[in-house]
Amino acid sequence: MNSMRWAFVAVLAATLVAAGMVGISSAYHSGGAAECTGCHTMHGSNTYLLQGSDPSSTCLNCHQHTGDTGPTSYHSSTAPADMPAGVPPKQRAPGGDFGWLKKTYTFTLRGTPTTDDGNLFGHNIVAADYGYVVDPNNATAPGGTFPSAQLGCTSCHDPHGQYRRNANGTISKTGAPIANSGSYATSAEPTATSAVGVYRLLAGAGYTKGGVTFLGNPAAKVPSSYNRTEAATQTRVAYGHATTGGHVSWADWCKTCHSNHGAFPHPNDQQLGSTIATNYNSYVKTGDMTGTAATSFTSLVPFVENTSDYTVLASHAKNDNTYLQGPSGGDRITCLSCHRAHASGWNHALRWNIEYEFMVSGTSWYGTDTTPGDTNANKHRGRTSTETAAAYYDRPATQFAEGGQRLLCNKCHAKD
């Protein structure tokens, strides 16, 4: 054990205690650093005296738990024991379930055996104890230099949750004590004497990992119950656009590691403009453009609201369909309009399957059970209809055009 290091830890702990940040509360991270021993052990021998073989295993000690029957609290990963072949991962939080990375689908496509390898489905975090391994294809972040071998939860999240949003709207790493999480629609706002945590303990200005340094935090609010089925009502994250006072836009945050992403050079951060906003608002499904702005939102194609006001975002972060307002021309498209942050049931952590031009089969989801056979392989790509439904967060296939629902690029482009 490295006593020097622990002396330092002890000092930091003392500082944090003095700042009123430590204490067992129901919200484990309570918007800031949690009980040190949840993640560190004095008697550990590894780097940072962590409670796992690596930082991500440490996180998964709580963020994955065997025995899940459905979306469960703050779990970000489903244990293999809970997802035998044909059974999809259980979590339905906005970031997505890392468990998809452990699902590999094989199917025969026009006579050729084809594989959708799980490592394509998102960010391959390295968590040795939990069987998550380095991405075998990308040595670094596509369009950047961040080494895949170092990718873990703490590449994107600050484990000590030091970034805080202050009453004056700025984000800082030190300052007033963090009173509570700032992520939730119901979280209290900062006051003159207390700050709140940044959205999802995400890495902020000055946070350096794998040779890259983040320039700020993105703004958003999420309903306090967020890991849930969207079979009946949608979970709406209200993503905001803030670029000053320690903030960066959502696309710029992702570009910390994907600075040069060019494989699919789609505009990002760009305002939708009135034509595309009108498309979004009118689009119900393929061939049906009778929608209205007040009910047009879909969590399969979220957008960034052109506001940096967290109270406005909080009032839009709903999980009961009471706020389904679509975009206006000033709102924006971002990476998360198409991708999930962690992983999804589809290649490149996309929110929908882009490998085939249609999405549903009549009134059911594509699947090896509903649309079997070689000629249909591109539709199901080896998934059961249950798995396809799970990848769409359990919404019914009947929400889409029975006669041939096309890809959701059309939500904005309406070319169908």
Partner 1 sequence: MRLCITSAILGVTLVAGPAAAQSLRAAYLYTLSDFTGSIRVDWSRVAVDRQRNEVYALHQNTVRVFNESGMEVYRFGDDLDIGHIVDVAVDDRGDVFLLSYRDSKAAIVRCNYRGELQARITLKRLPAEFSDFVPNRMVFQQGRFFLASSSGLKIVTADRDGHFVEGFDLVPLLDLEEQDRGSAELGGFSVDPAGNVLMTIPVLFRAFVMSRDGTVTAFGRAGSAPGRFNIVGGIARDREGNVLVVDKAKGAVLVFDPTLKFVSQFATRGSKPGQLLTPGDLAIDDRGTVYVTQAGKRGVSVFRLTHD
- Residues from 144 through 203 that contact ligand HEC (CB under 6 A): 146, 148, 151, 153-157, 159-160, 200, 202
Cβ-based nearer residue to partner 1, 49 or 272: 49
In whole angstroms, the minimum distance from the beta carbon of 10 to partner 1 comes to 12
Q: Are 239 and 336 in contact (CB under 8 A)?
A: yes
56 forms part of the interface with ligand HEC (CB under 6 A): yes
- Selection from partner 1, ligand HEC, none that 258 binds (CB < 5 to 8 A by kind) is ligand HEC
Q: How far is it, in rounded angstroms, from Cα 95 to Cα 349? A: 10
**Positions in 199-258 near ligand HEC (CB under 6 A):** 200, 202, 209, 220, 222, 237, 251, 254-258
In whole angstroms, the minimum distance from the beta carbon of 352 to ligand HEC comes to 8
Comparing CA positions, the residue from 250, 264, 258 lying closest to residue 143 is 258
**Positions in 367-406 near ligand HEC (CB under 6 A):** none
Integer angstrom CA distances of residue 39 from 33, 54, 114, 277: 10, 11, 41, 45
Q: Which residues sit opposite 122 in a β-bridge?
A: 343
Token couple for 95: 């970031």
- Binding part of the chain for ligand HEC, among 108-116, 118-126, 186-194, 395-403 by CB under 6 A, reads 118-126
- Selection from ligand HEC, partner 1, none that 284 binds (CB < 5 to 8 A by kind) is none
In whole angstroms, the minimum distance from the beta carbon of 241 to partner 1 comes to 29
Cβ-based nearer residue to partner 1, 127 or 277: 127
Q: How far is it, in rounded angstroms, from Cα 170 to Cα 167? A: 7
Comparing CA positions, the residue from 227, 244, 220, 246 lying closest to residue 304 is 220
In whole angstroms, the minimum distance from the beta carbon of 43 to partner 1 comes to 5
In whole angstroms, the minimum distance from the beta carbon of 278 to partner 1 comes to 38
Three-point CA angle 87, 88, 91, nearest 5°: 135
Comparing CA positions, the residue from 312, 32, 383, 25 lying closest to residue 195 is 32
For 109, the enclosing helix (H) or strand (E) is strand 105-109
- Selection from ligand HEC, partner 1, none that 197 binds (CB < 5 to 8 A by kind) is none
In whole angstroms, the minimum distance from the beta carbon of 181 to partner 1 comes to 10
Instruction: Please report where in the chains the tokens 């946070």 appear, as a residue.
Output: 207
Cβ-based nearer residue to ligand HEC, 350 or 377: 350
**Interacting residue with ligand HEC among 270, 295, 322, 375 (CB under 6 A):** 270
Cβ-based nearer residue to ligand HEC, 347 or 364: 347
Instruction: For residue 407, report the phi and psi dihedrals to the nearest 5 degrees.
Output: -55, 155
For residues 333, 150, 207 and 247, what is the CA-based torsion angle, rounded to 10 degrees?
Answer: 10
272 forms part of the interface with ligand HEC (CB under 6 A): yes
Q: How many CB atoms lie within 10 A of CB 396?
A: 15
- Selection from partner 1, ligand HEC, none that 26 binds (CB < 5 to 8 A by kind) is partner 1
Cβ-based nearer residue to ligand HEC, 83 or 153: 153
- Selection from ligand HEC, partner 1, none that 44 binds (CB < 5 to 8 A by kind) is partner 1
23 forms part of the interface with partner 1 (CB under 8 A): no
In whole angstroms, the minimum distance from the beta carbon of 41 to partner 1 comes to 4
**Interacting residue with partner 1 among 66, 193, 208, 290 (CB under 8 A):** 66
Residue 166's contacts (CB-CB under 8 Å, 6 or more residues apart) are: 172, 175, 176, 190, 195
Token couple for 237: 């994250």
Comparing CA positions, the residue from 154, 175, 155 lying closest to residue 245 is 175
Amino acid of residue 221: K
Cβ-based nearer residue to partner 1, 8 or 28: 28
Q: How far is it, in rounded angstroms, from Cα 302 to Cα 238? A: 8
Helix (H, G, I), strand (E, B) or coil at 103: coil
Q: How far is it, in rounded angstroms, from Cα 34 to Cα 6? A: 17
Q: How many CB atoms lie within 10 A of CB 282?
A: 16
- Selection from partner 1, ligand HEC, none that 243 binds (CB < 5 to 8 A by kind) is none
In whole angstroms, the minimum distance from the beta carbon of 21 to partner 1 comes to 15
For 380, the enclosing helix (H) or strand (E) is helix 377-380
In whole angstroms, the minimum distance from the beta carbon of 185 to partner 1 comes to 13
**Positions in 18-47 near ligand HEC (CB under 6 A):** 22, 33-34, 36, 38-40
**Positions in 116-145 near partner 1 (CB under 8 A):** 128-131
Residues in contact with partner 1 by the rule CB under 8 A:
24, 26-28, 35, 37-44, 51-53, 57-58, 61-62, 65-70, 72-74, 79-85, 87, 128-131, 224-225
